[in-house]
Amino acid sequence: MNEIIQIIIIVIIIIVFGTLVTIINLKGKNKAHTTKEQGSWQKIEENNEKKKNLLKQKEELSFKYSAKSIDEIAYNKALKYLNEEIRKIDDKINKEVSKLTEIQQKQDTGNELRFENIKLKGKLSETALEKETLSSRVKELEEFIKRMGGTNKKSASIDETEKTKYYEKILEKYKPEINKQEKKTITEIKEMVDAGDLTINSIITKNKPIGYDYNKDYLQTLRKIYNYLMSEIKVVKNNLRILFWLDFSEIIKNKIADEQDISILLCSVMHALQDYEAYIHVVQLENEKTHAFVKTKYKNTHYIFDLTQKVPFDTFKAKDEKELFKNYKYLEYKITKQIYKYNQDSYLDIDE
């Protein structure tokens, strides 16, 4: 009888001990699972952040290419690299998601709701990333449409085309008289850059901060005026070989100018803001046509401001002046020769 009791006691001890060991092991496994799960989520969030930065780089790259500040070869090379890096990150994210799924499947069904919450969190994170990517693409498309002339751009009707041809014929006939009337001496061309003009002062007053300091406020103030002119003034190409100059009030009132008119206006603004390094440059491009823009130097950095292209304020800048001219493009055309430059103080022919 005593032997039976001893056997029963031993069995009970074994069962209790086994139960305790099992409970401890389960707790340990759950803790290990939780630690692994947290590690996977941390890696997913880190990779999502890296992916977001790469998508932003793609957006900036696309904008630079649309603005013709980089060529097609450089664009394709950079785009290929970014796409490969994004693919690698996607692979890492998918790997961690697979780990999470495996961890959750090993846990008991009591954690079913928690597993669903984790999957939901992953879907929400992915949706947020997709939304941001979509927003970037929409923004990129909107900027591209603006540069192409707007969403309401329509092809000219036959009647309008015929009218245009008729007006061109009239202008062609009277071109010698117009050119004679509009021809200016070097002194008169310099005087067109007028920092004291009432229209220029009006633009400055609306955008210059109280207590304006050239060393502190110049670029910020000029950026505001540049963006205003870029959004308000339509710059057209004068292909008629007819000299015709608009004064500043006409440009602002009619919201239209050619590249020299808008360059003169911008240069006048810059001089009014105490930037005496600003010059209008006239250059020859690879297509053998001339082009005008404003160039300056501020705090050891050289800038080209070209309002004929719908590009951000500081698209064209460099520490080295030669590098700036070398990398600059109007559409797809680089500069082949600098012809002359001028402002209100000087006029210089350039033999480069």
The pLDDT of residue 110 = 46
State how far the Cα of 103 lies from the Cα of 328, in Å rounded to an integer. 55
The pLDDT of residue 21 = 53
Confidence of residue 151 (pLDDT cuts 50, 70, 90): very low
Q: Do residues 45 and 182 share a domain?
A: no
218 against 34, higher pLDDT: 218
In a domain, 227, yes or no: yes
Q: Do residues 20 and 103 share a domain?
A: yes
Q: How confident is the model over 96-127, as pLDDT tens digits?
A: 777 766 666 665 444 444 444 444 444 444 55
Q: Do residues 18 and 89 share a domain?
A: yes
In a domain, 171, yes or no: no
The pLDDT of residue 236 = 86
The pLDDT of residue 119 = 47
* Average pLDDT of the residues of the chain: 77
Query: Based on the structure, what is the number of domains in the chain?
Result: 2
Q: What percent of the chain has pLDDT over 70?
A: 65
Q: Do residues 105 and 227 share a domain?
A: no
In a domain, 166, yes or no: no
Q: How confident is the model over 79-89, as pLDDT tens digits?
A: 788 888 888 88
Q: Please state, in angstroms and as integers, the Cα–Cα distance from residue 315 to each residue in 22, 66, 70, 261, 318, following that order.
A: 67, 12, 11, 21, 10
**Residues pairing with 234 in the sheet:** 256
Q: Which domain holds residue 94?
A: 2-147
Q: Do residues 183 and 332 share a domain?
A: yes
Q: What percent of the chain has pLDDT over 90?
A: 37
Helices (H) and strands (E) in the chain, counts: 10, 9
The alpha carbon of residue 51 and the mean position of all alpha carbons in its chain are separated, in whole angstroms, by 18
What's the pTM value of the predicted model, to 2 decimals?
0.55
